[in-house]
Structure 1
Amino acid sequence: MRGRDEETGEFLDISRSQNRRAALDVLALGEKLVALTPAQLARLPVPEDLLPHIAEAKRITAHIAHKRQLAFLAKHMRREDDAVLDALRDALDVNSDSSRREVAMLHRVEDWRERLMKDGDKALGALLDEYPQADRQQLRTLVRNAQAERAKNKPPRAFREIYQTLRVLMLPAALGLEGVHADQDEQDQPADTDTDTGGNAED
């Protein structure tokens, strides 16, 4: 971090090696920002003037041109206050930890879906022991419909609905966001609400 002369207020010079390390650090930070999805970027305190440069780096895929755009982004980032860049680093660390937990939970959702498909009511009972707020009848119906879809080689509509239902049930609690749904932009399109059950199993 550059210091200031107490009398003149001017930035103090730093060594060439320090300057290079700082430049590479900012470049690495820029690469992390470019790799994020729009939803992830929206959660970070990214200055408005950097967003067009990030978007352009995302758009360019040619290797040399992409590296050039990253360097251009880093140049603009170095004009920001140290506090701004530190805030971005801190937010990325938090976001990274949250993402790891979310990925682990999504794997757990997939595991529960397969358990429900395989063991039916037995797995449903175990799920309700852990998540008593779950809708037993809704899940039982979805599982039966999904099993029928699989047996008849039909599109897995109910199978996808099980995933979304479990995701809404399990993910907020795992991330400490009880009562808050997962981000809409990261969810699949909501299931149809029509009453046509032509593709569903009948007991």
Structure 2
Amino acid sequence: MNIVGDSEHFKQPYDNDDDYISKTSFKKESEDAQQMGRKLALLSKSQLVKMELYESLHDAVMATKTIKPNTEAYRRQIQFIGKLMRNEDLEQLQHKLDNVLNKNNNEAAKIQIFEKLRDKLLAEGDAEIQSLLEQHPQLDRQKLRQLVRASTKELAKGPESKSAKELFKYLRAEIEDQ
């Protein structure tokens, strides 16, 4: 027997098995699933509903919300969620998670845009109203002027303004629908 040239002698039993997953790969996949479980545990109830998780995973994530973080029980619950997610497509779950989180970021960005627009209207008055009407002809000039005038008066008296909120809602409803 030629030991140097005999490569069959050094082969492992799993070398010909295409389904074999190394222990390291398995641990990495388990850790990825647990990390995804931690992200799911941080979502609100409404965000979890949007994720459309199957019932047992949804229930496990909801149970995590009742456990104090940084405890052994929390760690075990996250491990359990990771175990439930072994049969799930993690890429698809990550895509759903990104969509749910991104919607909130887009919503916050839209709110900021309309707040800045309202503040600019309050600061610059009629000139900005004219500029806004050129960009968005569907807006009602008279209503805009009334809301801006009322908001300016109310803001002069105190920091809260019911008219400023109405102006924000009006801008958002009329411009966002386009």
TM-score range, shorter chain: 0.7 to 0.9
1:25 positional shift = 1.3
Deviation of 1:115 after TM superposition, in Å, equals 0.3
Give ranges in structure 1 of 5+ residues lacking alignment. 1-10, 173-177, 179-203
Deviations 1:38-91 (A, max 9, x none): 33333223212222222222333442243333223222222x343xx4322222
Aligned to 1:120: 125
**Number of aligned residue pairs:** 160
The one of 149, 153, 156 equivalent to 2:154 is: 149
What amino acid sits opposite 1:55 in the alignment?
M
Taking structure 1 as reference, are residues 137 and 66 closer, same or farther at Cα in structure 2, changes over 3 Å only?
farther
Corresponding residue number in structure 1 for 2:80: 72
> In the TM superposition, what is the alpha-carbon distance from 1:22 to its structure 2 partner?
0.7
Are 2:164 and 1:159 equivalent residues in the alignment? Answer: yes
Which of 53, 58, 80 is the matching residue for 2:60? 53
Q: 1:152 to 1:81 in 2, by over 3 A?
A: closer
Q: Report the Cα distance in structure 2 between the residues aligned to 1:74 and 1:37, rounded to whole angstroms.
A: 19
What is the match of residue 110 of structure 1? Answer: 115
Q: Which runs of 5+ in 2 are unaligned?
A: 1-17
- Give 1 or 2 for the bigger CA radius of gyration: 2
Q: TM-score, with normalisation over the residues of structure 1?
A: 0.65
Q: 1:112 Cα deviation (Å)? A: 0.6
Contact 2:40 2:61 survives alignment (8 Å) = yes
Q: Please list every run of at least 4 consecutive aligned residues from structure 1 whose deviation after the TM superposition is greater than 6 angstroms.
A: none
| More helix per residue | 2
Work out which of the residue numbers 17, 20, 31 in structure 1 matches 2:24: 17
Partners of 1:95 and 1:171 lie apart in 2 by 20
Equivalent residue number for residue 201 of structure 1 = none
CA separation of 1:61 and 1:148: change in aligned 2, threshold 3 A: farther
> Within 1, Cα distance between the matches of 2:43 and 2:29?
22
Change in Cα spacing, 1:100 to 1:149, as seen in structure 2 (3 Å) is same
Output the aligned Cα RMSD: 2.6
CA offset at residue 154 of structure 1? 6.5
Whole-angstrom distance in 1 between the partners of 2:56 and 2:167:
42
Q: Which amino acid aligns with 2:85?
A: M
Contact 1:27 1:70 in 2 (8 A): yes
Q: Decide whether aligned partners of structure 1 residues 123 and 67 sit closer, same or farther in structure 2, where only a CA change above 3 A counts.
A: farther
2-side partners of 1:143 and 1:28: how far apart? 49
Query: Would you say the 8 A contact 1:44–1:91 is kept in 2?
Result: yes
Residue 193 of structure 1 aligns with which residue?
none
CA contact (8 A) 1:109 1:170 kept: no
